[in-house]
Structure formats: C-alpha cells, structure tokens
Structure 1
C-alpha cells in the first residue's frame, strides 16, 4: 500500500461534529470516513484515477 499524503484541513466545527457522528455510526474514524466520502464522490463523478495506471507520487 502506498504511503498516505498528510495535509491540514480547516473545517467548520458543526460540520466536523456531523461527520464525527456519521463516522461513528459507520464504525469508521473521522479521517477514514472523509476519505471514504471523497473516494465515493470521485467514483460517481468519473474522476477517480485507475490505481493500476496512476502513479501515487505527486
């Protein structure tokens, strides 16, 4: 598995609280849930690169 990219995220406290509740209901960490939501959104938009052909390095 490729190393994950770290970056700071500024987020509204109310939005974070809602994500925290939702993540808990799905048995995920907030970070894991945000990653899941972003991945699903990219899939629906047809913008998720193919892991086999995409270079993970920036």
Structure 2
C-alpha cells in the first residue's frame, strides 16, 4: 500500500458538519469521505485513470 500524503485542510464549519453527517451515514470517517469524493471528481473530469 502506498504511503498517503498528509496536509492541512481548512473548511468552514457548516461544510465540515455536512461531510461529517454524510460520512457517518455511510459508516466512513470524514477523511475517507473526502478522499472518496475527490477521487470521484478526478475520475469524472479525466484527471485520474478509472480503475
């Protein structure tokens, strides 16, 4: 498994709370939810190869 890059993300409270709720509804961490959404957006826009 490749090592993951760490970085600080600053988002407003309401956005974080919405992500937190969505992640909990899908039994994921907020970090995993953000990663899932970013990968989906990258694939849909041709920035990341589809697996």
Tell me which interval the TM-score lies in, with the shorter structure as reference length. Answer: over 0.9
Larger radius of gyration: 1
Task: Give structure 2 stretches of 5+ with no counterpart.
Answer: none
Q: Which residue of 1 aligns with 2:22?
A: 22
TM-score w.r.t. length of structure 1: 0.82
CA RMSD of aligned residues (A): 1.5
TM-score w.r.t. length of structure 2: 0.92
Which stretches of structure 1, 4 residues or longer, exceed 6 Å deviation after superposition?
A: none
Task: Give structure 1 stretches of 5+ with no counterpart.
Answer: 52-58
